[in-house]
Structure 1
Amino acid sequence: MGLLSLGTPLDWNTSRKHNEHIRANGIVQLQNIFLQHKSRRNDHFYWGDEVEYMLVDVNEKEKKARLAIDKDYILDDLNDPEKPELLALSVDNNISFHPEYGRFMIEATPLRPYDGNLLDDYLYVEENMVKRREVSQSQLPENVVPLTLTSFPRMGCGVFTSPSARPIGPASQSLFLPDEIINKHMRFPTLTANIRKRRGHKVAINLPFYPDENTKLIDDSIPKRDLFPSDQEPFLGAAKPGHVYMDLMGFGMGSSCLQVTMQAADIEQARYLYDALAPLTPVMLAVSAAAPIFKGFLVNQDVRWNVISGAVDDRTFVERDLEPYQGFDLFGGLDVADLVKAHIASLGGGRGVNGDKLANAYGDTLMHTLDSKPIQKIPKSRYASIDSYLSDEKYHSSSPYFQKSYNDLFSPINKKAYDQLIANKNFDEPLATHFAHLFIRDPLVIFSELLEQDNQIDNDHFENIQLTNWQTLRFKPPALYPSSYGDEELAQKPGWRVEFRPMEIQLNDFENAAYSVFLILCGKAILKYNPDFYIPILKIDENMDTAHKVDAARSEKFWFKNPYKWKLDFKQFEGYDLSWFDRFINDGNDLISSNGVYLNGYCKAKGKVGCVHEENGPNEVRLTADELINGSECFPGLIRMIIKYIEEELLPSTFVNSYKHCKDKETARQMIALQSYLALISKRAAGKIPTIARFLRDFVLHHPSYKKDLKVSDAINYDLVEASIAITNFDLSKPDLLKQYFGDELFNYLKARASGIWTPK
């Protein structure tokens, strides 16, 4: 959630008067950031991760598992300088704890970033994650467990919190979630209320029911209540037949995820890295899928992304180009002249900015709010996939991969902001478009004490807009610093970074370390081998829809750049599959005369009938997650690129230059760990072990008390949480459960490691 400002947050009706002030000054601050850091070069590749936990109260006596909403005090304790012993638990273990949207949530990151050039740091990630969980658990009662569940199965179902609370709160007006689940910092209830007030009605999230024998067409959990006018919304069209209906930000922002951020050498490298990672975002969402249950129902999708997208969607009816509910305002909470509304009403209404009645009556010139912001059709929520590439034209200056045609999505911009940026020589067209699109949004929370800022040293106005655009990737410029800072001082501050945001959280620290390490090594391999992964943005959007499907990682195909157009020499990756680790660690008859590790080739299918991914083929092809990550007999996948990078860049030079086999036990241990991380991703992509979503879905479907009605009862939920705890703790008293979840090979590795035993194969 970023840093929390101290001060007085403004209600929407007051804050909207200052929207243009925030945008105008935010653009100035952005320009000053670029001016201060434009010559920054050769920054070190540091990176970090963010893990989000849910505090779950497990009542063994009553067989109930509920979200603990009264244990958020541990965040204050573990960050309080006046409690040095508790603060030391965080600092001494290199941990930083942060608040999240839910009172039942905590976020933890490494206090200091990891060094992307050090092999040891990749193996330290899991150790740090284990410590985070241990430290947080040490400050909680035994019955309250920090779990890394992506979505809590019974959130919004009757009594699901501990202590119990009723959904009657004025901030949310939710039919299902009490205000008590919201973080007590005033930013969060204000954010919740302002989204509703700007939109002019509550958010409406509808997920399709999973089909089963007793599936109903209607969400029978929707109560009839007469506490707020918004209580009638589900009966006016907000709730869709055949779908689970949810009405609050908390259903999305109350879910957990895994994010990683990496620092590039300079702005141009960061732009290429951003673009190259973009096509991977839907694939990694699918491979990390962990959310098949919402509001006590099995749903016909596997991930959380569209839930959060809907949960923070502050667009009005006019911006979504939709007819309003009966009796609701087309413009929601936008500050629009009464005269405009009256004329539209006299015409019998009008459907959005593209509606004929509206356009014919006023044209474009009158479609503005009172602060002169154009009222535009906005295709996406604030929480969505990216809208445009940043371009590699300066990074690969001699032969860039980017083409303007790849930015084929209709992406509205703030024309005023765009013109300011394009007039500044530090912004080319793709960069100006990227930021001008972010600035079509209104600030959602404004603190009165922060209205007036020094644009030379403050950047809160820019971050107010930047941090409330939650996309699959975030391009993160440095902050502003006093002009007295020299180049050496600036070099010690965070530089140009890329945040990878779509992955779902995993149950076990081994898994979260594996996904983090895989993604960062993928980024490092991209920067070393410079593949061309560009495809049209619209195809990435199509892939995001695909990633939501049940078992998408195993059963679906994703648009990706034709591997024969990656601009890579496939032969340099021959032999770098997962068996490379075995051949590196163990001497044997696989040596060739030069004492190098034998490379088993793989491009045997090239030229054969049926090998469709040829040089003269289409620019984009459909690949399974298995093909993309593991490769095929036609082309290398991401894992081969990563393994080659490990050999060339992370192994001590003595291994690379003197001999090809490991002669050191510690390095062997590290290689086995990396192999196991990559094996987890490989097996999930190939469908050899289940995603968490598949595991949870099967758990419910095969539970003895399941009635084939999609409903996850208290009893099922309790057992599911107990199983999740066993997986989290790698509880060897439940070997069958662990084998089902991890598969035999990874189970045996983790069992040996848990026993303090590891042996190279």
Structure 2
Amino acid sequence: MFQLALSAACPVQRGYLTDGDCRWNIIAASVDDRTKEERGLEPLKENRFVIPKSRYDSIDSYLSPTSDAFNDIDLVYDKVVYQQLRDAGIDHLLAQHMAHLFIRDPISLFSERVDQDDTCDTDHFENIQSTNWQTMRFKPPPPGSCIGWRVEFRPTEVQLTDFENAAYVVFVVLLTRAILSFKLNFVMPISKVDVNMKAAQKRDAVLNEKFYFRRNITTCNTPKTCSETICCVSNQDCFPQMTINEIINGKSGEFPGLVPLIYQFLHSVDDLDVDTSCTISQYLHLIQERASGRLMTTARWMRDFITKHPEYKHDSVVTETINYDFVNECHQVLNGKPCPELLIQHKTKTNDSIPLAMKKHEQALIGLSEMSKSCDSSEDNRAKWPDCRTDDKFEDFVEEL
């Protein structure tokens, strides 16, 4: 859940500056449709299960058999659904996960979607699946689609600029590639994941909180060249608490750091071109600076702007004037205003408009096309253009090319 703390961007809710930095608990409460019985406040009479969490919360179990030992929290699931899946050949952990989803009722239903052929349509399943908003979502492929099996990574908060959002996405994707390539293991007990989830939402968690994290991440299948460079202490606690900076940038002699692991993976990629490498480096640099505290999170930047505004009365109220000025500040940053406390200086070769050189090239090609039409085999055009190869206009186009 370090990614939630690292991307924290929601300190304001309904016009009030709150003591938290993230949106997760707010959304979890807004869609929590559990009854008093399901929350354990009253004995079960009308309902079947006591459900510990909102339908919008952290994951409740791992699906891989190799991680089953770390499922240290009792999972509530519908045993009838579980048995039906087991009878159909679904393995224990996946059947348990799916049966866990079905302990809840649908919270939305469209009249045109009531009558469905469940043998060829998965809408009834998706109605349950898509309204269990966990930090990770296992997504089977839609029927009749070329889309494969997917895992959705959900805790990251949306950032202000495209550059920041791209940085977090690229960081997550490259981390998964490093894990798969180096056969690394980051699994920890589910109970510690829940503890991390609560810590990640606190104010300035990226600087002030510590998170349980696996120290020894290599496995027996990790390539020797990789395991030799990943320095992990094996005689200490396997799941110590680390700061975000230690998780991202590493701690000498104890943990390599996620970004250094990604760089090691990138060095093993043979066909990585220079431009792509430079762009990725900028993304990873932003992540490292946020983790170290040298750059603010979006939440801290927002909080500072509000608390330093002349109209703020230290009563948590974000007035219309403060809100207007803040939105205007965001607009200016999005349009290029330097913001060194939030962003690194970055450059990209991607442009919103066609470069001038490309425009000239395109115009020259259009001109050549028109010229070639004039230089056909007809006698009229031959008389008009006796020798296209020496025509001044043609040479002008060649010079532009």
TM-score tier by shorter-chain length is 0.7 to 0.9
What's the counterpart of residue 328 of structure 1?
A: none
Q: 1:352 aligns with which of 35, 43, 51?
A: 43
Contact 2:184–2:217 (CA<8 Å) still a contact in 1? no
Q: 1:637 aligns with which of 234, 257, 264?
A: 257
Compared CA separation, residues 297 and 683, structure 1 to 2 (3 A) = same
Q: 2:236 aligns with which of 617, 637, 646?
A: 617
Report the count of equivalent residues: 350
Structure 2 counterparts to residues 195-214 of structure 1, below 5 A: none
What's the counterpart of residue 377 of structure 1?
A: 50
What's the counterpart of residue 3 of structure 2?
A: 284
Q: 2-side partners of 1:500 and 1:450: how far apart? A: 28
Structure 2 counterparts to residues 168-567 of structure 1, below 5 A: 282-322=1-41, 351-353=42-44, 367=45, 369=46, 375-391=48-64, 393=65, 400=66, 402-404=67-69, 406-425=70-89, 427-481=90-144, 493-563=146-216
Q: Does 1:692 align with 2:298?
A: yes
SS at match of 1:740: coil
Compared CA separation, residues 530 and 689, structure 1 to 2 (3 A) = same
Q: How far 1:669 sits from its partner (Å)?
A: 2.8
What's the counterpart of residue 648 of structure 1?
A: 268
SS at match of 1:456: coil
The answer for unaligned runs of 5 or more in structure 1 is 1-281, 323-350, 354-366, 394-399, 482-489, 575-600, 604-612, 656-666, 757-761
Contact 1:438–1:469 (CA<8 Å) still a contact in 2? yes
Q: 2-side partners of 1:727 and 1:566: how far apart? A: 44
TM-score (norm 1): 0.44
Q: How far 1:628 sits from its partner (Å)?
A: 1.2
Counterpart amino acid of residue 413 in structure 1: Y
Q: 2:246 aligns with which of 627, 633, 638?
A: 627
Q: Does 1:676 align with 2:339?
A: no
Contact 1:508–1:729 (CA<8 Å) still a contact in 2? no
Q: 2-side partners of 1:616 and 1:700: how far apart? A: 47
Q: How far 1:523 sits from its partner (Å)?
A: 1.2
Q: 1-side partners of 2:303 and 2:223: how far apart? A: 41
Contact 1:456–1:480 (CA<8 Å) still a contact in 2? no
Compared CA separation, residues 564 and 494, structure 1 to 2 (3 A) = closer
Q: 2-side partners of 1:287 and 1:620: how far apart? A: 20
Contact 2:306–2:322 (CA<8 Å) still a contact in 1? yes
Compared CA separation, residues 352 and 640, structure 1 to 2 (3 A) = same
SS at match of 1:572: helix
Q: Does 1:714 align with 2:320?
A: yes
Q: 2-side partners of 1:725 and 1:671: how far apart? A: 29
> Which structure dedicates a bigger proportion of its chain to helix?
2
Q: How far 1:571 sits from its partner (Å)?
A: 6.3
Counterpart amino acid of residue 264 in structure 2: K
**1:34-64 residue CA offsets vs partner (Å, 9 max, x unmatched):** xxxxxxxxxxxxxxxxxxxxxxxxxxxxxxx
Structure 2 counterparts to residues 573-592 of structure 1, below 5 A: none
Counterpart amino acid of residue 528 in structure 1: S
Q: 2-side partners of 1:561 and 1:300: how far apart? A: 29
Name the % identity.
44
Q: How far 1:448 sits from its partner (Å)?
A: 3.2
Q: How far 1:572 sits from its partner (Å)?
A: 2.9
The answer for unaligned runs of 5 or more in structure 2 is 356-401
**1:403-454 residue CA offsets vs partner (Å, 9 max, x unmatched):** 43x11223210111011112222x1111111100001011122233333322
**1:697-727 residue CA offsets vs partner (Å, 9 max, x unmatched):** 1111111111111111111111111111122
Q: How far 1:632 sits from its partner (Å)?
A: 2.1
Contact 1:558–1:624 (CA<8 Å) still a contact in 2? yes
Compared CA separation, residues 573 and 711, structure 1 to 2 (3 A) = farther
Q: How far 1:602 sits from its partner (Å)?
A: 8.7
Q: How far 1:566 sits from its partner (Å)?
A: 5.8
Contact 1:287–1:685 (CA<8 Å) still a contact in 2? yes
Q: 1-side partners of 2:285 and 2:321: how far apart? A: 34
What's the counterpart of residue 383 of structure 2?
A: none
**1:617-665 residue CA offsets vs partner (Å, 9 max, x unmatched):** 222111111111111212322112212222323x41xx7xxxxxxxxxx
Counterpart amino acid of residue 290 in structure 1: A
Compared CA separation, residues 647 and 498, structure 1 to 2 (3 A) = same
> Which structure dedicates a bigger proportion of its chain to strand?
1
**1:459-490 residue CA offsets vs partner (Å, 9 max, x unmatched):** 11111110111111110001223xxxxxxxx6
Contact 1:573–1:640 (CA<8 Å) still a contact in 2? no
Q: 2-side partners of 1:727 and 1:416: how far apart? A: 54
Compared CA separation, residues 565 and 522, structure 1 to 2 (3 A) = closer
Moved more, 374-383 or 689-698: 374-383
Q: 1-side partners of 2:74 and 2:295: how far apart? A: 39
Q: How far 1:564 sits from its partner (Å)?
A: 5.8
Q: 1-side partners of 2:324 and 2:101: how far apart? A: 42
Q: 1-side partners of 2:135 and 2:20: how far apart? A: 18
Structure 2 counterparts to residues 10-159 of structure 1, below 5 A: none
SS at match of 2:340: helix
Q: How far 1:753 sits from its partner (Å)?
A: 9.0
Q: 1-side partners of 2:154 and 2:203: how far apart? A: 20
Contact 2:7–2:159 (CA<8 Å) still a contact in 1? yes
Contact 1:320–1:352 (CA<8 Å) still a contact in 2? no
Q: 1-side partners of 2:10 and 2:140: how far apart? A: 32
Alignment RMSD: 2.3
**1:378-406 residue CA offsets vs partner (Å, 9 max, x unmatched):** 11111111100001x3xxxxxx4x243x1
**1:19-38 residue CA offsets vs partner (Å, 9 max, x unmatched):** xxxxxxxxxxxxxxxxxxxx
Q: Radius of gyration: which is bigger?
A: 2
Contact 1:573–1:641 (CA<8 Å) still a contact in 2? no
Q: 1-side partners of 2:347 and 2:276: how far apart? A: 14
Contact 2:16–2:317 (CA<8 Å) still a contact in 1? yes
Contact 1:565–1:615 (CA<8 Å) still a contact in 2? no
Counterpart amino acid of residue 342 in structure 2: Y
TM-score (norm 2): 0.82
What's the counterpart of residue 372 of structure 2?
A: none
Q: 2-side partners of 1:438 and 1:679: how far apart? A: 39
Contact 2:213–2:242 (CA<8 Å) still a contact in 1? yes
SS at match of 1:437: helix
Compared CA separation, residues 740 and 456, structure 1 to 2 (3 A) = same
Q: 2-side partners of 1:375 and 1:544: how far apart? A: 27
Q: How far 1:565 sits from its partner (Å)?
A: 5.8
Contact 1:379–1:411 (CA<8 Å) still a contact in 2? no
What's the counterpart of residue 704 of structure 1?
A: 310
Counterpart amino acid of residue 709 in structure 1: D
SS at match of 1:741: coil
